[in-house]
A = this chain, B = another copy of it.
Amino acid sequence: MGKVIRVTIWNEFRHEKSQDRTGEIVRSIYPEGMHKTIGAELAAPDLEIRYATLDEPEHGLPDEVLNSTDVLIWWGHMAHGEVRDELVDKIQRRILSGMGLIVLHSGHFSKIFRRMMGTSCSLLWREVGEKERIWTVEPAHPIARGVPATFTLPNVEMYGERFDIPQDGRIIFLSWYEGGNVFRSGVAFERGHGRIFYFSPGHETYPIFKDENVIRIIGNAVRWAAPEDWYEISCPNSPAPEEIRTPDPNRK
């Protein structure tokens, strides 16, 4: 509708710089970092995309950035503990006020996702490059628009049930894994006045963020999660709109 959505893609950006074998693989797939690939793949006239990473000052999310972000995309893995609690507090407050949050893959264990869920967000995992088949459970949901009834990713890290999340997660996608596991791989929540989408594909050593369906889903989620309005969080003393005739025994 002509409205531009201000998206900030946050990446831990450590695997890409690591000097081990994993670092090599990740760099070969994502030479400028996963965030830049995701951003390039999402690029569209209705999206204004910025980037932020852990090792920048204020983790790349100073107030002027956070407070001008409509939808925050989050990828983190090995350094969740380094994200400062003060920033997590601010992001939570921004989400409750209306900001969308898209959490990818290993972000299930990020401070911000666990904060929003209230649960451990634990799961089973296995890293052997097996095949994943994704099923669309709610084709009429905006996040599933244009996504086929089922599609595969040739090599992934397995994330399996039990996934410890609250029960009001709207299940958009369910995954089947070659090795025998299943997973609620695409789940949508509303918290406060904001919307949250968790999507499990996105392991750093496979080119998952170049997959057409994965990108379509993330793009749909961004547009679904973008707020129409912003709301103040307050807990006000509120005068009675109707007449009260009961006398307060504590006031004489």
Contacts and interface: CB of A to CB of B under 8 A. Distances in A.
A224 B19 CA distance: 51
A5 to B, nearest CB: 16
A182 B175 contact: yes
A148 to B, nearest CB: 11
Given A118-B166, A126-B240, 10 more contacts: A128-B240, A129-B248, A129-B250, A130-B240, A136-B162, A137-B161, A139-B162, A178-B240, A178-B242, A178-B245
Contacts of A96: 119-120, 164
Interface stretch (A42-50, A61-69, A228-236): A228-236
B240 A122 contact: no
A189 B166 CA distance: 9
A3 to B, nearest CB: 12
A170 interface: yes
A206 B170 CA distance: 34
B249 A139 contact: no
Q: Copies of this chain, how many?
A: 4
A14 interface: no
A244 B179 contact: yes
Interface stretch (A32-40, A52-60, A109-117): A109-117
Contacts of A247: 129
Interface in A107-154: 109, 115-120, 122-131, 133, 135-140, 142, 145, 149-150, 152, 154
Give the size range of A's interface with the partner: 35 or more
A168 B119 CA distance: 14
B229 A140 contact: yes
Contacts of A214: none
A241 interface: yes
Nearest to A193: B140
A166 to B, nearest CB: 6
A140 to B, nearest CB: 4
A83 interface: no
A240 to B, nearest CB: 3
